[in-house]
Amino acid sequence: MMQQRHNRYEKARIIGARALQVTYGAPVLIETDREEPILIAAEEYDAGVLPFTVKRSTGAQ
């Protein structure tokens, strides 16, 4: 499975949303010894295990 490349804004949004989920008690999807939700989310993102999708517009409307 090829991981979609995200721009920095999409990446920040995905990591921020996941960190919020972890803060509110969502299960962590990887083995980690980190405790800060933002670092956990970033590690999950780098591992490619987050089930987030990004919907992009085609530009022409």
User: Where are the domains positioned within the chain?
Assistant: 8-47
Mean pLDDT, each 10-residue run in order, the chain (61 residues)? 77 96 97 97 96 83 61
Quick one: pLDDT at residue 1? 46
For domain 8-47, which architecture applies?
Answer: Alpha-Beta Complex (3.90)
In the 8-state DSSP scheme, what is residue 58? -
Give me the pLDDT at residue 56, please.
85
Residue-level pLDDT at 3: 56
CA distance 28 to 18: 10
Q: CA-CA distance, 43 to 16, in Å (whole number)?
A: 12
